Amino acid sequence: MDKKTHRKTGLHLIMKQKNVLKNIIMLYGMSIAKIVFPLLTLPYLTRVLSVESYGVVSYVKAVMQYMQLGVDFGFMLSGTRDIVKEKNDHEKLEKEVGDVLLARILLAAAAFVVLLGMIAVIPLLRANIGYTLLAFVTVFLSVFLFDYFFRGIEKMQVITLRFVAMRGIATALTFVFVHSDKDILFVPLLDTIGSLVAVILVLIELKKEKISIRFSGIKAAWKKLKDSFVYFASNMATTAFGALNTLLIGAFLPATEVAYWSVCMQLIGAVQTMYTPITEGVYPEMIKTKSWKFIKRLLMIFMPIVLAGSVFSVAVAPYVLLIVGGEQYVAATSLFRALVPVLIFSFPGIVLGWPTLGALDKAAQVTKTTILAAVVQVVSLLLLIATGHFTVMWIAIFRCVTEFVLMTCRGWYCWKYRKEFC
């Protein structure tokens, strides 16, 4: 290789490394934004809205999580994969974007029909039909955000900037327009405005990339749906840990219970989000080393911190709920304390999943443990309903059991494949 070619290759590698670093920084920025924006509005909404009204907001949000899951249908993974494969062929790239778009429009139509059915049978949604339908508009607009495309061409800054713009606008306007229960319809309306701005920004970026959307037809869109189903199934199993609980609580219990549960789970979720940088940092190292000693050392370092933090959370629970939600949410102290074991079990469960088993190319086993835990969760909820013990405290207990099952199953697989570790 001559010096000129060597310099060119070296420059290419440096640019590639810088691009990867930029993408990582942008995705971390979005992760932080996903924590910050909800935590900004949570204390405000819990104070200006009654517990019942905040329960409606939380319940409809949980319903929309399922609607969004159906509309996304795993395309964030399968769509990104297909874009990466075809990004050097502009015409095929445009068809990939068009086929996924058509598939997602069909999914949005199906989701809307399902939502109408839910409104017909769930009193909480029926009593707040205007709010529910407005909230769905944001789900429909997400079809035109094309996140999978920008992930595929490795321009994560577009995704991050549109997310910050979308959530930033909605958050800022919430403080301006939402002051009491009579302003509750502004919550989904402001989300819609933020989403419209995001769609405009994304369409401008698509134009810069000289992408003209081409449709191959219904047959091609249907094939995309079949190819993406496996990703959808995995995502659906994971969602059973969160939104399903809220969904059923709203269907069988008063709106106040939905509010208490949602506030507690938002706090638990905020802590779990702090686990992500650790596990994402471990994964590349484990792919290279496949070292079980490394995992043991990691758990020995962080588990005492997790345990100490959990004990601290139990001790300060009423004060945290007072600060975040106000006096009316201090009544949820016992519920929050019952959910703290989730924090203890979920950390090793996450570490033993993709960073450990995934590094051994045991993706199927990781997915199996997720599905098994989801089945345990669903069966537990059905048993509680059937036996008349469907209360938020019992749901919290079984939520902890589910997380324990996930941790134990992944631990068993690690023991089973222990000889494959270095």
What is the average per-residue pLDDT within 219-224?
Answer: 91
- Residue 315 predicted with pLDDT over 50: yes
Average pLDDT over residues 339-345: 97
Which of 23-32, 217-226, 377-386 is least confident? 23-32
Residue 13 has pLDDT above 50, yes or no: no
- Please tell me the predicted confidence (pLDDT) of residue 393: 97
User: What HEC string does the chain produce?
Assistant: CCHHHHHHHHHHHHHHHHHHHHHHHHHHHHHHHHHHHHHHHHHHHHHHCCHHHHHHHHHHHHHHHHHHHHHHCCHHHHHHHHHHHHCCCHHHHHHHHHHHHHHHHHHHHHHHHHHHHHHHHCHHHHCCHHHHHHHHHHHHHHHHCCHHHHHHCCCHHHHHHHHHHHHHHHHHHHHHHCCCHHHCCHHHHHHHHHHHHHHHHHHHHHHHCCCCCCCCCHHHHHHHHHHHHHHHHHHHHHHCCCHHHHHHHHHHCCHHHHHHHHHHHHHHHHHHHCCHHHHHHHHHHHHHHCCHHHHHHHHHHHHHHHHHHHHHHHHHHHHHHHHHHCHHHHHHHHHHHHHCHHHHHHHHHHHCHHHHHHHHCCHHHHHHHHHHHHHHHHHHHHHHHHHCCCCHHHHHHHHHHHHHHHHHHHHHHHHHCHHHCC
- Rounded distance between C-alpha atoms, residue 410 and residue 422, angstroms: 18
The count of other CB atoms within 10 Å of the CB of residue 240 is 20
pLDDT tens for each residue of 146-197 = 988 887 887 878 888 888 889 999 999 999 999 999 999 999 999 999 999 9
More confident residue, 415 or 32: 415
Is the pLDDT score of 5 beyond 70?
no
pLDDT in tens, 257-279: 999 999 999 899 888 877 876 77
Tokens of 380: 């537990």
Q: How many CA atoms lie within 13 A of 349 on its CB side?
A: 22
92-97's contacts with Cβ under 8 Å and 24+ in sequence apart are 93/211, 94/211, 94/212, 94/213, 94/214, 95/214, 95/215, 95/216, 95/220, 97/146, 97/149, 97/211, 97/213, 97/214
pLDDT band at 28 (very low <50, low <70, confident <90, very high): low
pLDDT in tens, 99-155: 999 999 999 999 999 999 999 999 999 999 999 999 999 999 999 999 888 878 878
Q: What is the mean pLDDT of the chain?
A: 87
Residue % of the chain over a pLDDT of 90: 55
Distance CA 331, CA 311 (A): 19
Residue of 273, 293, 296, 277 whose CA lies nearest to 348 = 296
Spatial CB neighbours of 273, under 8 Å, sequence gap ≥ 6: 31, 34, 35
The pLDDT value given to residue 20? 52
Q: Determine the Cα–Cα distance for residues 364 and 368; give it in Å rounded to an integer.
A: 6
Please state, in angstroms and as integers, the Cα–Cα distance from residue 107 to each residue in 17, 103, 213, 418, following that order: 37, 6, 18, 42
Instruction: Give the per-residue pLDDT at 14.
Output: 44
Task: Report pLDDT digits (tens) over 353-383.
Answer: 878 988 888 878 888 898 899 889 989 999 9
Radius of gyration of the CA atoms of the chain, in A: 23
What is the rounded distance in angstroms from the CA atom of residue 166 to the CA atom of residue 404?
A: 36
pLDDT at 241: 63
Exposure of 271 by Cβ count < 10 A (0-12 exposed, 13-18 middle, 19+ buried)? middle
Ranked by mean pLDDT, the top range of 6-20, 358-372, 399-413 is 399-413
pLDDT for res 235: 65
Please report the pLDDT score of residue 8 as a whole number. Answer: 46
- Please give the residue that has the higher pLDDT: either 333 or 363: 333
Share of the chain above pLDDT 70, in %: 89
| pLDDT score of 385 more than 90 | yes
Confidence of residue 284 (pLDDT cuts 50, 70, 90): low
188 neighbors 131 (Cβ within 8 angstroms)? yes
pLDDT digits (tens, 9 = 90+) for 198-214: 999 999 999 998 888 88
pLDDT score for 138: 95
**Does residue 11 register a pLDDT over 50?**
no
Give me the pLDDT at residue 81, please. 78
**Phi, psi (deg, nearest 5) at residue 51:** -60, -40
What pLDDT was estimated at residue 402? 93
Q: What confidence score (pLDDT) does residue 118 get?
A: 95
